[in-house]
Structure 1
């Protein structure tokens, strides 16, 4: 009996010691924000003091990329560490409005067959909380122990429902969850994905007044104000961690789901307003304003502080979180641990996709595939996906029917000069890389 008691005590002590060593994890995701639209990224007007302060204590990857330039597939790739054509979530909705929820269920079912860092942490003793954007049913469906989203289509559950109130209304659900985790002495994961700066662009008047000025379009002023509003909510969250003395043992990760730009800032032609509310070459496109986002990793004593010139990707979040928490990630994840300097420096290329905005097919993720892209160093190749022009789901962007485009994104960050004809060997090399990547 004494031996059994000692053994039980030893196991309990080991479990408590492991929990004490495991960091809390705070995942911050903004929604529809251009990669330059932060103070720490050099924007001349938008002020983001809270995120600037976080950047000062983070490893910042200026050249971060998402797997897809659209929110739902982007979030699905962040959670699973897989590309959209693997987990099957390639758009926001299955075609069809009257029975959208029924048509969408097979997509959700496929997604939930894949491991996620949420499920992994919940299974390993973490309290996990969802707030903000979440497309794949309720927070319970996603493997969270706590959360806000009910996901019930009968109650207008689609992409976050009640969870979308976080930040716009208050931060109480988040701070109450943190207090609960502290009280229970458990490590926690916080999924903070507010519906910001996403439309509706209805910022507080004080912020709108700040950015409204003669000569600046109203849509641009509203967007700028929304970016600062989002930053204010991040400040509230980060202050809550500081006030509770949690920052030293908390891993904070930041990324945006996809890029965005107001339509009146259109990079091609200000008179073209093809997409409601946002500019061409931004959200939904394979250009930098669609797929690029700064990525921040902050963990005192573990993550170096400074700017990295290396490439980072949304698929890296799962292996990074698993390594930090000391739990085993699923085999075969294509991403890397962003805290592994050798892995980061040895990476040469990142990849991604671009499917038709909004619609997707249940039967074949490639039914809506438009473009594949890769980046190697300063070179970027955008490859039009061949052979699908007859698909009822696939609609090419009016502004880009070229079979491929090559850019030097260091010298030409706005991708104005297509260099494909001048560099055929580079095109051939990158095209082969894309083909090999898709075949694996």
Structure 2
């Protein structure tokens, strides 16, 4: 009897034997040739498209009334859209560190963009926790695991976690440096990015990254590939191709969105996605390619809107951390499906391992594989868990008051927990608590901390326990704090805002 018919026979005998046959199968299965790793042709490729500062409603499938994203919309319709997907932080570097490590910020200790205090040192009652600006090479990324599973790995575009992404599990890097934005804009010259040193003067950076993505996909068919296409777009500087900018200047403005340059930047990304999808299809790989799409943090407040969500990039209200996200996994996801289960970008690490057959690392992971959700199931592990954020630092304001707690800072040192329908903010300067029912108040307009003390205290205990378990630091008193100076700065900014609104 051959090995495979033996397994089939044992499964059939499960209903007639009293012994735990499935256990026997599990024990012998590892020794059977048919259980060896799948061939390159059988393992799926993965295209992970990761945008920068792309807001929750900035795509057609999320409800924009001005931006045009037909290619992203078509892809999203083939898989599952997550309505309650979150970034690991409200701005670039810490969110990306969460993504690559599969860990919340207290574990990798990247808390902000850079390690210097943001804002004037006399404004703010607390010190900041500087943390680090480089992801430790002792942390195994999902790229390490995927590469070890036999994949060809590449990163194209923004990296932001070190000078070079290659030591973090990637075979190939194009344009990834420690820079958090296009060094000198979306047109050449591109500063110290070696791969772009000879870029034609009229070449738009977003187009070039999409072209390099197609080159990577077509380069080698001996292995399955995993491509991390991490666009600089739509990060500042706001700079679109003149023809597309003109198109949107002539287009009627939407009630939600109306920024012509942002629209042009988004369309350039979307057109590139369409070209890459066509290239994958022409290579006969569509049915064997997984598509994952999301963003690193909320949209850029001065140019876009996440309404009805409150906040934007840099705030820990929903508009700063809730992201558009979809996954297309042939044979697993149902076309046109949606999930409102809260998920966060640390979940992508175990999900990528599931997709590629990679082993999980021997290090803490804070996420769960999304495969059950993608298959239409909701295990108790997702129902019972809470999501956490920790920001022991300061982030300067856009000089506005809608969507942030005060005019000086988009966010001050804080901790956040989402547990089911409930979300609790804790602000460390004054220990104030804000409680919101996201099911009935997704815009976080009504603080229920005083009217629902039992829920407030339960979530607060969970948040404190999580901080203790992860060693999350809380900053101490700031000896340079000047209350009078801070008050005067607030009043000055408020006068400026009121004048501009007149």
TM-score range, shorter chain: 0.7 to 0.9
Q: CA deviation at 1:162?
A: 5.5
Query: 2:428 aligned with 1:406, yes or no?
Result: no
Pair 169,302 (structure 1): closer, same or farther in 2 beyond 3 Å: same
Structure number with larger C-alpha Rg:
2
Where do residues 11-410 of structure 1 align in structure 2 (5 Å cutoff)?
A: 17-95=38-116, 107=132, 111-135=136-160, 136-149=162-175, 151=177, 161=193, 167-169=206-208, 171-182=210-221, 185-212=222-249, 220-263=259-302, 281-305=311-335, 306-331=337-362, 332-340=364-372, 341-343=377-379, 345-356=382-393, 370-384=413-427, 386=428, 403-410=432-439
Query: 2:455 aligned with 1:421, yes or no?
Result: no
Q: 1:295-352: CA deviations, max 9, x gaps?
A: 2111110223300121111000000000111121124312111012344653442222
Pair 348,94 (structure 1): closer, same or farther in 2 beyond 3 Å: closer
**Any conservation in 2 of the 1:126–1:188 contact (CA below 8 Å)?**
yes
Q: 1:214-248: CA deviations, max 9, x gaps?
A: 87899833223322222222222222211211121
Distance 1:55 1:255 in 2: 11
Q: CA deviation at 1:134?
A: 0.3
Any gaps of 5 or more consecutive residues in structure 1? Answer: 1-9, 98-105, 269-278, 360-367, 390-400
Report the RMSD for the aligned CA atoms in angstroms: 3.6
Equivalence for 1:394:
none
Pair 383,249 (structure 1): closer, same or farther in 2 beyond 3 Å: same
Pair 418,152 (structure 1): closer, same or farther in 2 beyond 3 Å: closer
State how many pairs are aligned: 389
Equivalence for 1:4:
none
Equivalence for 1:397:
none
DSSP 3-state at the match of 1:252? strand
Equivalence for 2:467:
438
DSSP 3-state at the match of 1:429? helix
**Any conservation in 1 of the 2:148–2:358 contact (CA below 8 Å)?**
no
Equivalence for 2:408:
none
Pair 170,134 (structure 1): closer, same or farther in 2 beyond 3 Å: closer
DSSP 3-state at the match of 1:428? helix
Higher mean C-alpha displacement, 401-410 vs 32-41: 401-410
Q: CA deviation at 1:83?
A: 0.8
Distance 2:303 2:133 in 1: 36
TM-score (ref. length: structure 2): 0.69
Pair 113,32 (structure 1): closer, same or farther in 2 beyond 3 Å: same
Q: CA deviation at 1:288?
A: 0.9
Any gaps of 5 or more consecutive residues in structure 2? Answer: 1-30, 119-130, 185-189, 197-203, 397-410, 470-502
Pair 337,265 (structure 1): closer, same or farther in 2 beyond 3 Å: closer
Distance 1:267 1:60 in 2: 17
Q: CA deviation at 1:267?
A: 9.3
**Any conservation in 2 of the 1:88–1:111 contact (CA below 8 Å)?**
no
**Any conservation in 2 of the 1:380–1:409 contact (CA below 8 Å)?**
yes
TM-score (ref. length: structure 1): 0.78
Pair 314,134 (structure 1): closer, same or farther in 2 beyond 3 Å: same
**Any conservation in 2 of the 1:149–1:160 contact (CA below 8 Å)?**
no
